[in-house]
């Protein structure tokens, strides 16, 4: 082979290898050693306590951090790990952190992690990617397994960032703190309104990373605003979280993702959309159950500013959905669209659950297809 051709081939191979490596830096999924299966050496531990700052591969730790094996006993309580065999526990003011590189400035990213409360009722975790930070409350346990997955989002200001998960607790027992496992990462691509849907992300297809080996979905925490929402386009305007679910583990009316309203009127999602005052609009959506044994008489309330509709759904907990619509006349240039569940629901195992919302569309009546008739509820 000619030397110039060989050189060109070598250059192409190096560039291709570098490109693949750069992509791998921000690939969706677990962070390196994100499930903590690679642990400290015995020389860097005192019982379950990690003594070395860099003892857990790919992580830096500070404070009272324990490396916990599934089945570890704490008094009469058996600690269970959701994925794999190991997790970490963060004592008072302890944190774990990992640097990620290859971020694109201005792009939004979401972090998903699983956590379990151990010995205190008011445990919480602070997630930071400077300059953004957020406190995620853990008072409410939504699943029956004791573990929940949480999502948090940030906008990259730099190409490198440190992800910090910190326990700001001040318990009497400094070792008392939440377990953390399975830290994942996903790039968010916020969709834009179109002439087919004035709402952004109406099908909820864009959202946080969902762990494939867990069956409890991902909680979008309360009081999450639109500009930093792990559910792009939507705000969580409530005291409790909503659950982001996927078609691999639940019945989803349309596409691969949906939202489950798991805390009655304390679990609400909203979006503010541009409208023309005096113009007529139609809001269509699907209401159902996720095939997760959540049974009972459900009602979803949908709001478009002053207009509202209540959509009843009788759930047998085996999956299904119905479609509904709300027609309204816009009164301002901004209309708030909101959904909530009228009632609290729990499964037989006491896990919180509720109706699902999916395939939400908003259209001006000028662009509604002629064949669209009224959808009765």
Q: Tokens 């190409």 map to which residue?
A: 159
Residues of the chain with CATH 2.60.120.260: 27-236, 257-364
Judge: domain 257-364, CATH 2.60.120.260.
Answer: yes
Phi, psi of 50 (to 5 degrees): -85, 125
Res. 76 pLDDT band, cuts 50 70 90 = low
Residue 209 has pLDDT above 80, yes or no: yes
- Please state, in angstroms and rounded to a whole number, the distance separating the CA atoms of residues 163 and 28: 15
pLDDT given at position 75: 67
Tell me the percentage of the chain whose pLDDT exceeds 70: 88
Query: pTM of the predicted model, to two decimals?
Result: 0.88
Q: Tokens 């060989």 map to which residue?
A: 6
CATH architecture designation of domain 27-236: Sandwich (2.60)
Res. 23 pLDDT band, cuts 50 70 90 = very low
- Please state, in angstroms and rounded to a whole number, the distance separating the CA atoms of residues 181 and 85: 10
247 to each of 47, 253, 256, how far by Cα in Å? 41, 9, 5
Residue 39 has pLDDT above 90, yes or no: yes
Res. 259 pLDDT band, cuts 50 70 90 = very high
Residue 26 has pLDDT above 70, yes or no: no
What tokens were used for 222? 């309360």
pLDDT digits (tens, 9 = 90+) for 113-154: 999 888 767 788 999 999 999 888 888 888 888 889 999 999
pLDDT given at position 225: 67
pLDDT digits (tens, 9 = 90+) for 219-244: 998 877 666 899 999 999 888 999 99
Give 5's contacts (C-beta < 8 A, 6+ positions apart): none
Residue 343 has pLDDT above 70, yes or no: yes
């Amino acid at each position: 082979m000619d030397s110039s051709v060989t050189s060109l081939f070598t250059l192409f191979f190096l560039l291709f290898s570098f490109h693949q490596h750069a992509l791998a830096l921000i690939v969706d999924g677990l962070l390196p050693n994100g499930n903590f299966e690679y642990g400290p050496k015995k020389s860097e531990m005192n019982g379950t306590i990690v003594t070395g700052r860099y003892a857990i591969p790919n992580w830096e730790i500070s404070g009272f951090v324990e490396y916990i094996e599934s089945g570890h006993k704490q008094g009469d309580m058996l600690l269970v790990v959701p994925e794999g065999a190991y997790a970490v526990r963060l004592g008072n003011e302890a944190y774990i952190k990992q640097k990620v590189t290859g971020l694109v400035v201005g792009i939004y990213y979401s972090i998903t992690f699983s956590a379990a409360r151990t010995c205190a009722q008011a445990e919480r975790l602070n997630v930071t990617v400077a300059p953004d930070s957020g406190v995620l409350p853990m008072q409410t346990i939504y699943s029956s397994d004791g573990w929940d997955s949480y999502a948090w989002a940030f906008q990259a200001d730099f190409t490198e960032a440190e992800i910090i998960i910190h326990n700001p607790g001040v318990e009497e027992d400094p070792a008392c703190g939440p377990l953390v496992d399975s830290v994942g990462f996903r790039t968010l691509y916020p969709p834009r309104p179109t002439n087919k849907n004035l709402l952004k992300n109406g099908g909820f297809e864009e959202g946080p990373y969902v762990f494939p080996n867990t069956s409890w979905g991902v909680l979008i925490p309360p009081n999450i605003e639109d500009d930093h929402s792990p559910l792009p386009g939507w705000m969580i305007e409530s005291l409790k979280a909503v659950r982001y679910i996927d078609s691999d583990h639940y019945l989803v009316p349309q596409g691969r993702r949906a939202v489950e309203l798991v805390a009655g009127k304390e679990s609400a999602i909203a979006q503010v959309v541009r409208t023309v005052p005096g113009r007529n609009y139609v809001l269509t959506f699907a209401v159902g159950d996720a095939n997760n044994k959540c049974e009972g008489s459900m009602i979803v309330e949908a709001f478009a500013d002053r207009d509202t509709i209540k959509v009843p759904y009788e759930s047998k907990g085996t999956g299904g959905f119905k479609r509904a619509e709300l027609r309204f006349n816009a009164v301002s240039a901004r209309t708030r669209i909101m959904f909530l569940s009228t009632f609290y629901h729990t499964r037989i195992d006491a896990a919180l659950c509720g109706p699902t919302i999916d395939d939400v569309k908003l259209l001006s009546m000028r662009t509604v297809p002629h064949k669209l008739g009224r959808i009765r509820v």
